[in-house]
Amino acid sequence: MNTQSDTIIYNYMDTFFCCRVEKDKLCEEMVTDHMLVYICSGEMILQTKEKRATFKKGDAVFMKRNHLAKKTKRPTKSGEPFKGLFLQLKSPFLKSLLTEVSFPISTNLYAGSKDRNYKILPKHPFLTGLFISLEQYFDSRTYPSKELMTTKLKEAVLVLLEVDPSLANILFDFAEPWKMDLAGFMNKNYRCDMSLEEFAHYTGRSLTSFKRDFVAIFNETPGKWLVKKRLHEAHNRIVNKKQKPSAVYQEVGFKNLSHFSTAFKKEFGYSPSGAMDL
């Protein structure tokens, strides 16, 4: 269990997650594995490159792996906290499942969907039943065995395909992303809370080739470049847009306000609060 002042996250097998949020919480990250999400209470705003969508109590959504998604989890206006269940469907598990069960896969299905990185799932009693059973595990704090949870994962996949058979084409597509334009990707996604290994993965590179290509393009190491890029973005927001440091540091990719303030002063010679007077 991970806790912050207004956030509680229960994690089982690094695959099943239950997240409870008392206040608005922004989470901008790469979706590394296929994910099934169910909203028990509150709201989740999902922003992808295609569109913005709001999910409420009882909604379920399938999210495709290897893309950027900005998720804002928040309570309702009446004060009901956000509570969501998240299931990661990882490639090794799906490959194993594919050897056990034969699934019909068609290259024509799903291809025309506008929401290519996520899909809103219709209301279905099988989905509801799956998530009610998982919610009870987290609420009771008595987690079942690994074998039983693997069975629940299989159930999740079978339920998904019962609800929408076209998802087989996405679930069992194991192709890795192509090597993409590094400069364009980094300038667009530098605010994301990702490790260098994750940045390398999403640009289609090994960590070694990522670092080598990065220095060749930017003439600086990725770590130093990321800190400087985020600090200058923060400086612009504070000085020109008059945003408060406490509202900026997470938005630009820093996890800790104290670390942000120290790095800011080292870069510019004055504190973030001092920048507000410029």
Query: What is the tens place of the pLDDT at every residue in 147-164?
Result: 888 999 999 999 999 999
* Pairing status of strand 43-47 against strand 67-74: antiparallel
For the chain, what are the domain ranges? 2-171, 182-275
Distance of CA 175 to the CA centre of its chain: 20
What are the helix (H) ranges across 51-195?
91-100, 125-140, 146-163, 168-171, 182-189
| CATH architecture assigned to 2-171 | Sandwich (2.60)
Identical fold at 2-171 and 182-275?
Answer: no
pTM strictly above 0.85: no
Query: What is the tens place of the pLDDT at every residue in 69-128?
Result: 888 898 988 889 999 999 999 999 999 998 887 776 654 444 444 447 899 999 999 999
Say which residue the tokens 């956000």 belong to: 82
What homologous superfamily is domain 182-275 in, according to CATH?
Homeodomain-like (1.10.10.60)
